[in-house]
Structure 1
Amino acid sequence: MNVLNITDQLALIDETPLDPYFLALNAQEAAAAFIVAGTAANTVRSYRSGLAYWSAWLQLRYGQALGDAALPSTVAVQFVVDHLARPTADGEWVHLLPPIIDAALITAKVKAKPGALAYNTVSHRLAVLGKWHRLNNWDSPTEAPALKTLLREARKAQSRQGVSVRKKTAIVLEPLQALLATCTDGARGVRDRALLLLAWSGGGRRRSEVVGLQVGDVRRLDAGTWLYALGTTKTDTSGMRREKPLRGPAAQALSAWLDVAPAESGPLFRRMYKGGKVGTAGLSPDQVARIVQRRAQMAGLVGDWAAHSLRSGFVTEAGRQGVPLGEVMAMTEHRSVTTVMGYFQTGALLDSRASQLLEPAAQLSDPSNDRVAQPAVHDTAENFTTAPARDA
């Protein structure tokens, strides 16, 4: 049997050799497809929104299209001063974006309202720009030292003026119980109760993780315990399935939902229609947020509630109850201790003796004394309150 050498084999291939310093067009497209497929849907949507904004702003501000070439760092600096408000000596807040361009961005439906953007929004738009440049193998203007210094000083300037980063109100035990108390409206209430308890008791699940669960991802371990399996998540893209427990009320709520809406396959949490009819389509991430907000409104709770309130609330309540941080992170799958510690410490300090030094010593040391539970709010002064009961 004759074996062709490499030279002979190359002679049979009717292809132009590739330049090793450049990716072929089809390879670029394949690489881009992998990146999109491996990125969470919410992240893809946020990138598209951010790129749409950059495209419109560049066209209006510079008459330049996005994607022709790498942008210089001066453009990124201009973006910051156009969109971040800064205090003046007169106590006024100003930014450099011309009103006519601001109005045009609103007309183009890439901006919701006139005025400056929040610091987090500007940071996200810059992150999108940096991602865009990296995908195109360009030097990113967001890595310029001048820009990083500007952002750092802008953050400090806003903080000194009382502008803080606002986060969603954490759903600790008391507001969670208030939300669950509203879940008495038939099949919809059964579904929402199961969803809220799985998302909260199951480790503070993200809304994308909740809607991604399939019927086949849950299994009963015993009379009082269910297990549900997570696959690919925001922080774990390995695809390996990790099982998390649901016990007590959360397990009972899941059993009740599967009794009301039995299914062999498909999304675990499905849409509801008039008359309490359960559909076949799964919920969207936005619908999870709306369920939380609707239940909070029904319960008369005042606060900035969202789907993330379940995740931050789980961590905060774990801190209140003295659960070791390692056990909490095993449930939440946080990778960064820094990220989770803010919520955890807030909860732990709520019941710390160091925060109750003015209380009588006997009350602090009496183990029979009921804990005075306080609502937990991370990085915001808002508390939740229950609205007065309406007359029947």
Structure 2
Amino acid sequence: MRFAIELKLPLTLEAVVTFITDHVEHLGPNGLRQGLPEQVDRELVKLGIKKRVGPLALSTVEHRVAVMSEAHLAQHMESPCRVPVVQRLLSRTRRAYVKRGVRPNKVDAITLQPLKQMLETCDDSLLGIRDRALLLFAWSSGGRRRSEVVAATVENTKRRGESYVFILDHSKTNQEGRVDGSSYKPIVGAAAEALTHWLHSAGITQGTLFRQVRRYGILGGPLSTEAVRRIVIERAKRAGLDGRFAAHSLRAGFVTEAGIQGIPMAEIMAMTGHSSVASVVGYHRAGSSLTSAAARLFDDAEMRNEPTS
């Protein structure tokens, strides 16, 4: 509608930039307004694509850009959403919102205990077996992104005794499909057991690991990235967890829990595949803050100064 043509993958850089500038708020001479023409905005609402006229929340815009990116990655296409121009645009938009007192709402991290509560909601049905395997696969192998979870196959997830090695040959930070030492992500222990149970129960011997489970336990096609998001949200809801959750909560939770357990940053990044320390350090610090020796300076000093009997 905006471009008068049907948009298909791969999207152009112009389409991504226009989507962002159309739907966020800009501060102009007449106050805040969006870039989307009013007539187009009203038509989108009329068609049910938008709930109401006006700009989208920044978190919604960022989420939709992330969905666009994952759609490209799932098709092994280079994502125009990850080029420096788009990342700078989003960064400057976030700063502009912060200056106006609008701060982004981050999803809550699913650390070890919340994860266990979610796993307890997974029964012995084929659906429960799948969800348990998916949650443990995504969390334990380094907090895999949705696009990486749906890209997992029997062929790129190699059995090694009772364990597996997931070969991550395509990701947000590896769009060229190269395989090196950092591409191998171990799946061991409970995660490996759950994956084996799922594969045997579903009779999967080739192709995509995680698939739809239809009525009466009939196996369907591959899961979409949106389906992974819904699974995380639904299991968190069933577990009675309070907070705002999404698929990224597994990735954030893995890093946060690693911080709690004192895992070195280099080991965490080797698992997650993060290329920037800045992306990891916030979650790591949040996790390690309560176990920090610096936080106990007063108590430790008091203990050292206590008189001995």
Q: What is the TM-score of this pair, normalised by structure 1?
A: 0.59
Higher relative contact order (CA 8 A, sep 6+): 2
- Report the secondary structure of 1:226's partner residue: strand
Identify the residue that residue 218 of structure 2 maps to in structure 1: 277
| Percent identity over paired residues | 42
**How far apart are 1:123 and its partner, in Å?**
7.8
Equivalent pairs counted in the alignment come to 273
Q: Structure 2 matches for 1:355-366, cutoff 5 A? A: 355=295, 361=300
Aligned to 1:60: none
Q: 1:261 aligned to 202, 217, 229, which one?
A: 202
Deviation at 1:50, TM superposition (A): 8.4
Given that residues 199 and 205 in structure 2 are in contact (C-alpha distance below 8 angstroms), is that contact kept between their aligned partners in structure 1? no
Counterpart contact for 2:148–2:168, Cα < 8 Å: yes
Q: Which residue of 1 aligns with 2:33?
A: 95
Q: Does 2:227 match 1:300? A: no
Structure 1 residue 207 corresponds to structure 2 residue 146: yes
TM-score by length of 2: 0.73
Match in the other structure for 1:236: 174
Contact 2:34-2:54 at 8 Å conserved across structures: no
Separation in 1 of the partners of 2:110 and 2:250? 5
Letter in 2 for 1:253: A
Determine which structure has more spread, i.e. the larger CA radius of gyration. 1
Mark the runs of 5 or more structure 1 residues left unpaired by the alignment.
Answer: 1-35, 56-75, 88-92, 129-141, 366-392
Helix, strand or coil: the match of 1:228?
Answer: strand
| Aligned residue type for 1:270 | R
8 Å contact from structure 1 (residues 86, 158) kept in 2: no
- 1:202, 1:331 within 8 Å by CA — same for their partners in 2? yes
Please give the per-residue CA displacement for 1:217-255, whole angstroms capped at 9, x wherever unaligned.
2232223x2212222222112323432111111111111
Within 5 Å, give how 1:129-168 maps onto structure 2.
152=92, 155=94, 158-160=97-99, 162-168=101-107
Q: Per-residue displacement from partner, 1:295-333 (whole Å, max 9, x unpaired)?
A: 011101121111111111111111111111111111111
Aligned to 2:108: 169
CA contact (8 A) 1:52 1:110 kept: no
1:51 aligned onto 2:18: no
Q: Is the 8 A contact 1:50 1:125 kept in 2?
A: no
Deviation readout 1:139-198 (Å, 9 max, x if unpaired): xxx89xxx98xx85x755643554211221111111111111101141111111111001
Secondary structure at the counterpart of residue 165 of structure 1:
coil
CA contact (8 A) 1:170 1:310 kept: yes
Aligned equivalents of 2:137 and 2:217: distance in 1?
A: 21
In the alignment, is the contact (CA less than 8 A) between 1:171 and 1:312 conserved in 2? Answer: yes
Paired with 2:214 and 2:140, the residues of 1 have a C-alpha distance of 27
Residue 95 of structure 1 aligns to a residue in which SS?
strand
**Equivalent residues of 1:216, 1:264 under 8 A apart:** no
Cα distance in 1 for partners of 2:34, 2:267 equals: 48
What's 1:334 paired with? 274
Counterparts in 2 of 1:362 and 1:195: CA distance versus 1, 3 Å = farther
